[in-house]
A = this chain, B = another copy of it.
Amino acid sequence: MKTQLYSFWRSSAAFRVRIALNLKGLGYEVIPVHIVKSGGAQNADDYAKKNPNRLVPLYTDGNHSIHQSLAIVEYLEEIQANPPLLPESLIDRAWVRAIAMDIAIEIHPLNNLRVLRYLMKNLGINAEAKDAWYQHWMLLGLTSLETQLSTDSRVGRFACGGQPGLIDICLVPQIFNALSTKMDMTAYPTLMRIYAECMTLPAFIDASWEKQIDAEGSNPFMPPEN
Binding site for B on A (CB under 8 A): 52-55, 64, 66-68, 70-72, 74-75, 78-79, 90-91, 93-95, 97-98, 101-102, 104-106, 108-110, 115, 118-119, 122-123, 125, 129, 132-133, 136, 141, 144, 147-148
Contacts and interface: CB of A to CB of B under 8 A. Distances in A.
A101 B90 CA distance: 21
Closest 4 CB pairs of A and B: A71-B97, A68-B98, A71-B98, A75-B94
9 contacts: A52-B147, A52-B148, A70-B101, A71-B97, A74-B97, A75-B91, A75-B94, A105-B105, A110-B115
Given A71-B101, A75-B94, A110-B115, 10 more contacts: A68-B98, A70-B105, A74-B97, A104-B105, A105-B105, A109-B109, A110-B110, A118-B136, A122-B132, A123-B129
Contacts of A109: 105-106, 109-110
A103 B54 CA distance: 14
Contacts of A118: 133, 136
- The interface centre, meaning the residue of A98, A133, A144 with most chain B CB atoms within 10 A of its CB, is A98
A1 to B, nearest CB: 15
Contacts of A91: 64, 66, 75
Contact of A93 (B75, B93, B98): B75
A77 to B, nearest CB: 10
Nearest to A92: B64
